[in-house]
Amino acid sequence: MQPQLHRSARPLLGIALLVVATACFAVLDTTVKVVGAYVSVLMAVWFRYVFQALAVSLFMLPLRGRTLLRTAAPRLQLLRGGLLLLVSVLSFLGVQFMPVGEFTAIVMTTPLVVTLLAALFLKEQVSRLRWLLVAGGFVGAVLVARPGADMLGWASLIPLAMVWVYAGFQILTSQMARTEDPMTMHFYTGWVGAIIATALLPLVWQAIPDWHTFALLCLIGLMGTVGHFLLILAFARAPASTLTPYLYSQIGFATLCGWLVFDHIPGAQELSGIALIALCGVGASWLAARARRG
């Protein structure tokens, strides 16, 4: 039988799953920036989705059989897969023109949009204090970003466009996770992206230069597959307004990856921003726990 996952079940586990997912996404973005010097963005996107589609199929089809394909919302599965593909294209393209930490900080305005959409369309109750904490997390993101003259003006439009697409994807995921099997969602997401990317691949096909690049492409596929599966599980266990503050943790992970890979050492301003994000996340978690006890 298809497992039924509910928002009210184990919210702390949902938070933990989300934080691990953001770490996966930070590693993915950093790897994409490295690989971008050797292959095109669409090649990396194609590899990411083909990896996910094949991995989920080879692992789950023998265990689940045709039940893996059963869905009550095939059109929403197609829409979700298309949205995530567009998010990936914008993300992979954005990190080629901007530093990983700076790009991630702009993308982290997504939680503000998610909170707004959750309040308007999902009718989730968001207190004024929680709004203030989410806004504080955004201020921390700005501190980490350090916007300056070295940022290409037109390139900053890429993550801004991604913010709205990603917010829609997250809201749709939280809705579908109420009734849809997480592995079924993961299966369709991978294959929708793989099929669309494959159709576009002849336009940019190029040979993979060496085994090192191939290994990095495998890492992109692995991080994307694991990260988005954890995201599905997280939104199945907690409401969007509860999870929203913890999406900011990706800035910390991205800053760490930028330091380790590109030797970008965080300054006092970046560290202050990360601390503010963490404090706001803890405060929002406390409010959510108090509301559940009430």
Give the residue, 266 or 85, on which the prediction is more confident: 85
pLDDT at 212: 93
Establish if 6 belongs to a structural domain.
no
Residues 196-221 as b/e (b if ≥16 CB within 10 A, e otherwise) read bbeeebeeeeeeeeeeebeebbebbb
Rounded CA-CA distance 115/167 in Å is: 9
Confidence of residue 285 (pLDDT cuts 50, 70, 90): low
Q: Domain count of the chain? A: 1
Instruction: Give me the mean pLDDT over the 41-61 stretch.
Output: 90
| pTM score over 0.85 | no
Confidence of residue 6 (pLDDT cuts 50, 70, 90): very low
Establish if 91 belongs to a structural domain.
yes
In the predicted structure, residue 255 carries a pLDDT above the cut 60: yes
Establish if 228 belongs to a structural domain.
yes
Confidence of residue 21 (pLDDT cuts 50, 70, 90): very high
Tell me the Ramachandran region of residue 263: left when phi exceeds 0, alpha when psi lies from -120 to 50, beta otherwise: left
Least confidently predicted of 113-127, 183-197, 221-235: 113-127
In the predicted structure, residue 245 carries a pLDDT above the cut 80: no
In the predicted structure, residue 5 carries a pLDDT above the cut 60: no
Rounded CA-CA distance 70/131 in Å is: 38
Give the residue, 129 or 126, on which the prediction is more confident: 129
Helices 100-107 and 249-262: angle between axes, nearest 10 degrees = 170
| 77-93 pLDDT, tens digit each | 999 999 999 999 999 99
- How many alpha carbons fall within 13 Å on the CB side of residue 47? 28
Establish if 1 belongs to a structural domain.
no
Establish if 230 belongs to a structural domain.
yes
CA 203, 209, 213, 215 torsion: positive or negative?
Answer: positive
What's the distance, Cα to Cα, between the start and end of the chain in Å?
34
pLDDT at 145: 60
8 A C-beta contact, residue 81 and residue 188: yes
DSSP state of 4: P
Establish if 3 belongs to a structural domain.
no
Establish if 171 belongs to a structural domain.
yes
In the predicted structure, residue 200 carries a pLDDT above the cut 70: yes
Instruction: Give me the mean pLDDT over the 239-246 stretch.
Output: 74
Instruction: Give me the mean pLDDT over the 38-67 stretch.
Output: 90
CA 133, 139, 143, 147 torsion: positive or negative?
Answer: positive
Domain interval for residue 28: 11-293
Establish if 5 belongs to a structural domain.
no
